[in-house]
């Protein structure tokens, strides 16, 4: 498996530091406002990576932090006449809800910055002791000139940074590029913690160094986040951690591209952001995930209504394959096929080999999977693995899902139920690895609606038997007008919300 590493700027074969264990850290959100589509892209991307690594058989520890102490939170609290804690907990709740609705899996550990203040102070102390940091007036700064490798990750050199007009100058810093590890409170009422340098709060970058060390160790496999974090955030984290512990901080740095809107980056400062909730009001989680995964994770992706609509239509086709086959052969058969295939797929994913040594299992597979599609299924599946192994080429992986859907529909139309079951079973399996839920209805109706629909369809069935097309079409048209679509299939009629 190859992963593009930001530091070396190339694809590198992925090898975990320790056996099959993967330690993965993703920079989480600062909870000071509603989560937007940019967050959706970021966390869906890393969720996909997490799911795929697990599928490959790795024992993944996935840490995604919550930044709940920060100037932006404090400012928001002042503006809204509330406390930083209230702001953080309010937006944290919104974030959690959005992640859940997007079918983003829960990380292994989701630590909060405020629960790791002592760990941060310890690192700062270590840095001061080692001479990599200095304190002035209750602040503590990292002395960039002491860390030779500074700039390695983002390929910046200190001189150029100084020359850039955007570096904040400050009288108390030794060097304009030095960054804050600890910031003294301005007055005693402000949010802060005691430290050897007085009451204050941590700088932005130190939290990730502290949490990464605490939950994963001094050197980790993967550290990921949005590409805007490369500099200065990740550069600074790296400097702190490596200076403090004297070890490489991260083996593979990964960064996702941005969501753009009208050719511009979507961001809070540009005020052009669309919240996740806005999008969820119109499109479901599958459509949003599809929209994001049709682009390679490192490329920018342009948000607009047509793109989301196209994604929605694409998902619909995949879901139709599942639903059409389900109507014909039943959910149990699909589930059975999927369970059987899971064994095969999991083995191939982990070892790259067809598990011929599992004689009993393989015999069962060969008996149950029609020979005519066995080969196709394995080839499709291997293509899927190859695509994903190539730096998570999800656009290619999606193309393979469409091939599986096509295989299922063709088999269904030829009345080859077994083949259809296995094609759709492999489609469902792969869709789950990518975090889709093809079984989910777009909108859930209540029990009464379901029963009413059964009744209406029943009555219409009788009308159609009498060839009263005028009335049966009228029923269908009226339902369409309320947003319910009827599909007359062979001997069954199904319905769904538009």
Partner RNA sequence: GGCGACAUGGCCAAGUGGUAAGGCAGGAGUCUGCAAAACUCUUACCCCCAGUUCGAAUCUGGGUGUCGCCUCCA
Q: Return the residues of window 6-65 that contact RNA according to CB under 7 A.
A: 9, 27, 29-30, 36, 38-39, 41-42
Q: How many C-beta atoms surround the C-beta of residue 478 within 10 A?
A: 11
Helix H or strand E segment including 271 = none
CA–CA distance from 421 to each of 314, 332, 338, 347 (Å)?
21, 10, 8, 20
d(Cα 384, Cα 348) in Å, to the nearest integer?
A: 11
Could you tell me if 144 and 158 are in contact, meaning their C-beta atoms sit under 8 angstroms apart?
A: yes
Could you tell me if 306 and 294 are in contact, meaning their C-beta atoms sit under 8 angstroms apart?
A: no
d(Cα 383, Cα 240) in Å, to the nearest integer?
A: 41
Is the CB of 243 or the CB of 266 nearer to RNA?
266
Q: How many C-beta atoms surround the C-beta of residue 456 within 10 A?
A: 18
Q: What is the nearest approach in angstroms of RNA to the Cβ of residue 451?
A: 22
Q: What is the nearest approach in angstroms of RNA to the Cβ of residue 294?
A: 5
Does position 260 bind RNA by CB under 7 A?
Answer: yes
d(Cα 455, Cα 449) in Å, to the nearest integer?
A: 10
Does position 294 bind RNA by CB under 7 A?
Answer: yes
* Peptide bond just before 232 cis, omega within 30 deg: yes
Taking CB under 7 A as the criterion, the residue among 296, 358, 382, 416 binding RNA is 296
Of 401, 398, 441, 442, residue with least CA distance to 425 = 401
DSSP 355-369: -TT-HHHHHHHHHHS
Site for RNA in 430-489 (CB under 7 A): 464, 469, 472-473, 476, 485-489
Does position 328 bind RNA by CB under 7 A?
Answer: no
> Exposed (0-12), middle (13-18) or buried (19+): which is 236, by Cβ within 10 Å?
buried
Please choose, out of 52-60, 229-237, 433-441, 445-453, the segment that lies near RNA by the rule CB under 7 A.
Answer: 229-237
* Binding residue count for RNA, defined by CB under 7 A: 87
Does position 110 bind RNA by CB under 7 A?
Answer: no
Q: What is the nearest approach in angstroms of RNA to the Cβ of residue 204?
A: 5
Site string for RNA, 138-167 (x = CB under 7 A): ----------------xxxx--xx-xx-xx
Q: What is the nearest approach in angstroms of RNA to the Cβ of residue 330?
A: 18
Q: What is the nearest approach in angstroms of RNA to the Cβ of residue 410?
A: 5
d(Cα 23, Cα 120) in Å, to the nearest integer?
A: 20
Does position 83 bind RNA by CB under 7 A?
Answer: no
* Longest CA–CA separation in the chain, Å: 91
d(Cα 216, Cα 24) in Å, to the nearest integer?
A: 8
Q: What is the nearest approach in angstroms of RNA to the Cβ of residue 172?
A: 16
Is the CB of 357 or the CB of 465 nearer to RNA?
465
Site for RNA in 261-290 (CB under 7 A): 263-269
Of 31, 218, 230, 25, residue with least CA distance to 114 = 31
Site for RNA in 370-399 (CB under 7 A): 390, 393, 395-396, 398-399
Is the CB of 202 or the CB of 232 nearer to RNA?
232
Q: What is the nearest approach in angstroms of RNA to the Cβ of residue 168?
A: 6
Site string for RNA, 398-417 (x = CB under 7 A): xx--xx-xx--xx-xx----
Is the CB of 268 or the CB of 350 nearer to RNA?
268
Site string for RNA, 188-227 (x = CB under 7 A): ----------------x--------------------xxx
Interstrand relation of 21-26 and 200-202 (parallel, antiparallel or unpaired)? unpaired
Q: What is the nearest approach in angstroms of RNA to the Cβ of residue 394?
A: 8
């Amino acid at each position: 498996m190859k992963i593009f590493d930001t530091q070396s700027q190339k694809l590198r074969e992925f090898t975990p530091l320790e056996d099959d264990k993967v330690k993965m850290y993703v920079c989480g959100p600062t909870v000071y406002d509603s989560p937007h589509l940019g967050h959706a892209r970021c966390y869906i991307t890393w969720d996909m990576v997490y799911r795929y690594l697990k599928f490959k058989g790795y024992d993944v520890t996935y840490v995604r932090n919550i930044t709940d102490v920060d100037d932006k939170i404090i400012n928001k609290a002042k503006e809204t006449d509330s406390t930083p804690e209230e702001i953080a907990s309010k937006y944290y709740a919104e974030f959690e809800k959005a992640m859940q609705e997007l079918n983003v899996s829960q990380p292994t550990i989701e630590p909060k910055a405020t629960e790791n203040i002592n760990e941060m102070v310890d690192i700062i102390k270590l840095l001061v002791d080692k001479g990599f940091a200095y304190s002035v007036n209750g602040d503590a700064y990292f002395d960039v000139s002491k860390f030779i490798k500074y700039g390695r990750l983002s390929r910046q050199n200190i001189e150029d940074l100084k020359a850039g007009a955007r570096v904040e100058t400050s009288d108390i810093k030794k060097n304009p590029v030095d960054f804050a590890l600890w910031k003294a409170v301005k007055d005693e009422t402000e949010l802060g913690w005691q430290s050897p340098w007085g009451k204050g709060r941590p700088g932005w970058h130190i939290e990730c160094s502290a949490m990464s060390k605490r939950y994963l160790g001094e050197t980790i496999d993967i550290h990921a986040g949005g590409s805007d974090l490369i500099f200065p955030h990740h550069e600074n984290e790296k400097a702190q951690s490596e200076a403090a512990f004297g070890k490489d901080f991260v083996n593979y740095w990964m960064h996702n591209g941005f969501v753009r809107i009208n050719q511009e980056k979507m961001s809070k400062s540009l005020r052009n952001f669309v919240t996740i909730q806005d999008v969820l009001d119109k499109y479901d989680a599958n459509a949003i995930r599809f929209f994001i995964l049709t682009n390679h994770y490192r490329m920018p992706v342009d948000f607009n209504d047509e793109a989301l609509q196209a994604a929605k239509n694409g998902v619909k086709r995949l879901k139709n394959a599942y639903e059409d086959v389900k109507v014909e052969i039943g959910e149990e058969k699909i589930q059975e096929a999927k369970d059987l295939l899971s064994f095969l797929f999991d083995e191939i994913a982990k070892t790259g080999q067809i598990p011929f040594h599992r004689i009993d299992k393989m015999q069962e597979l060969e008996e149950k999977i029609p020979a005519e599609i066995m080969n196709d299924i394995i080839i499709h599946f291997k293509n899927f693995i190859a695509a994903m192994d190539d730096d998570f080429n999800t656009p290619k992986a999606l193309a393979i899902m469409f091939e599986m859907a096509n295989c299922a529909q063709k088999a269904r139309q030829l009345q080859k139920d077994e083949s259809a079951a296995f094609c759709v079973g492999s489609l469902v399996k792969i869709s789950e690895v990518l975090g889709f839920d093809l079984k989910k209805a777009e909108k859930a109706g209540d029990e009464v609606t379901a029963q009413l629909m059964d009744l209406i369809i029943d009555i219409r069935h009788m009308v159609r038997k009498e060839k009263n097309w005028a009335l049966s079409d009228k029923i269908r048209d009226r339902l369409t007008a309320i947003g319910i679509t009827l599909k007359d299939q062979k001997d069954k009629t199904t319905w769904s919300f538009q």
